[in-house]
Amino acid sequence: MRSVLSLPFALSLLAAASPALAAQRQIVVDAAGGGDFLSLAPAVAAALAGDTIVVRAGEYREPALDIDKGIAIVGLVGVRLIGNTILPPYLRVHDIPARQTFAMRGFTAVGPFDGSYTIDVQSCRGTVSLQAMQGLLAHLDIDCVSCSQVEMKNLTVAHLSVNDSNVVVQRSAFENLGSPIVGSGELGLVRCSVTVQPGFFSSGPGLRWTSGRLTLTRSNVSAAQSGSAPAPAVQVDSGTVVVDPTTVLVPWMGAPPIGGAATVQSREVASLVADSSGTLLDVDLHGLRTSDYVVLLSRPTPILPTFAGAVWVSTDEHLVVAFGSFGSTRNATHRLAHAAVPAGFTTTLQAVFFTDRLSVSTASIVVFP
């Protein structure tokens, strides 16, 4: 396993290849003063596509936030976002234009009544990334409708509803009284835990899918039932389910792991999860046995379907930042140092694998803190 470029050098090359980055601004929100705004809503209204809003520690009671442009919102340590409207959603992300990216990371989000914080993501042709967010008294409630490219990472979620969207979720926990994940479209789960809470009213599969394609790798999905009826871990009415051998499916009362009329494929799925601690970029790879690979980095770009899989990195402006080989194990890690990376800078990483044919891993978007 080797790295090819230092991350600061790689990012500087990306910035040089993107002249529009020079026009980006950083807007500071600080409830205690000392920033450009005291609250988040006016900062969102003032921001232009490409800008980053940095939110300093504090408690922010906000009206329903409405996002329709490609900006980044980065919360520093100790930021609590409180929905201050009567009815959800408390955050609405919609109509992000193609080739723009909305990214948000680093918030504890709380609704005004039972603590549940609702996020609606609708009709986005561009890229949406939600990272490092959690509820305080309850988990997040996320609806995703008619979106081309959504990534979620490091979240705690009570309920995720997906309708006609392409969504990848990484390293997140789902727990609810009913099925925590429902919907249709294309969904990939990487290193996720999906559990129906035990209790008298708990029932059903952990994941219910109407139609489309599910990809499950390095994840655990469990069902529960309050009565005596069996329940599969995953219920799929139609479509395809691809299950990596690392995935654990726990049905209830002797039901099959996967129920319904879906086509089930059991095979190795290559995945990549990347995140930044502020000084180091950690890349966690789970690959194809005995394969060689390279890790590519680029600015976010629309999904490109290819014979090798869905490509999330730019085919024109990408850099190789690491490479290596898998032996009998399927795990590899890289730690890439990065100094002086501005908060909100957003990149995409994806691995390409070389066996008897080319294939790609799942992709991971990194929003730098």
What is the per-residue pLDDT for 1?
44
Residue from 254, 174, 247, 243 nearest 213 by CA: 243
CA dihedral 222→223→226→227, nearest 10 degrees, is -130
Residues 6+ apart with CB under 8 A from 86: 112
Q: Which letter does DSSP use for residue 20 in this model?
A: G
Strand partners for 285:
272, 332
Q: Which letter does DSSP use for residue 84 in this model?
A: -
Cis check: omega of the bond before 89, within 30 degrees of 0: yes
In angstroms, the CA 366 to CA 229 distance is 42
pTM of the predicted model over 0.75: yes
Residues 6+ apart with CB under 8 A from 329: none
Residue from 20, 62, 57 nearest 43 by CA: 62
In angstroms, the CA 244 to CA 270 distance is 9
Task: Give how far the C-alpha of residue 134 lies from the chain's centroid of Cα atoms, to the nearest Å.
Answer: 13
In angstroms, the CA 8 to CA 175 distance is 38
Residue 181 tokens, joined: 């994940």
Write out residues in the chain with pLDDT < 50, as ranges: 1, 17, 19-20, 22
Is residue 171 within 8 A of residue 177, CB to CB? The reply is no
Which amino acid is present at 76?
L
pLDDT tens by residue, 106-144: 999 998 877 789 999 999 999 999 999 988 766 899 999
Give whole-number Cα distances, 212 to 62, 127, 143, 236, in Å. Answer: 36, 20, 17, 9
Which amino acid is present at 3?
S
What is the per-residue pLDDT for 202?
65
Is residue 360 within 8 A of residue 298, CB to CB? The reply is no
In angstroms, the CA 288 to CA 295 distance is 14
Residue 47 tokens, joined: 């921001």
